[in-house]
Amino acid sequence: MAFEFTDTNFKETALAENGIAVVDFWAEWCGPCRLVSPIIDELSSEYAGKAQIGKLNVDHNPEVSMQFGVRSIPTILFIKNGKVVEKHVGTATKATLKQKIDALI
């Protein structure tokens, strides 16, 4: 199961100084988000210990969503050492996401 990012824990987890985080911004009512969700769960297990991979529900965590200008979902942020290095909007294949994560590690 993927990590659950929230407005409360985002700074300590996703924006860690020496780490990699992949954050999937989603909502329960979003059809394309449901396509990406199982991929994020799989990647979270595969990259355990190498990257913090998880989801942030935009309906329950509006502060982080606004801070990063997330207007469309799913949006996936790739964060390295506390800085957003890439942003992907829309659905993506597992292979595409793996390639982006591997480039950060």
Convert the pLDDT of each residue in 56-97 to its tens digit: 999 999 999 999 999 999 999 999 999 999 999 999 999 999
User: Residue 1 has what pLDDT?
Assistant: 85
Using the Cα atoms of residue 15, residue 21, residue 22 and residue 28 in order, give the sign of their dihedral: negative
Mean pLDDT across 39-66: 97
User: Residue 18 has what pLDDT?
Assistant: 87
Among 16, 27, 30, 35, the one annotated catalytic: 30
Among 33, 70, 73, 76, the one annotated catalytic: 33
Residue 100: pLDDT over 90: yes
Among 9-18, 20-29, 69-78, 83-92, the range scoring the smallest mean pLDDT is: 9-18
Structurally, the chain folds into a number of domains equal to 1
- Told to judge if 50 belongs to the known catalytic residues of this protein, a careful annotator would answer no
Strand partners, 25: 56, 75
Residue 24: pLDDT over 90: yes
> Which residues 6+ apart lie within 8 Å of 84 measured at CB?
68, 77, 78
Domain containing 38: what range? 3-104
Q: At 95, which CATH number?
A: 3.40.30.10
Number of alpha carbons in the 13 Å side-chain half-sphere of residue 38: 3
- Residue 16 binned pLDDT confidence (cut-offs 50, 70, 90): confident
- Told to judge if 81 belongs to the known catalytic residues of this protein, a careful annotator would answer no
Mind spelling out the 3-state secondary structure of 28-94? CCCHHHHHHHHHHHHHHHHCCCCCEEEEEECCCCHHHHHHCCCCCCCEEEEEECCEEEEEEECCCCH
For 13, the 3-state DSSP assignment is helix
Helix (H) or strand (E) segment spanning residue 3: strand 3-4
Residue 17: pLDDT over 90: no
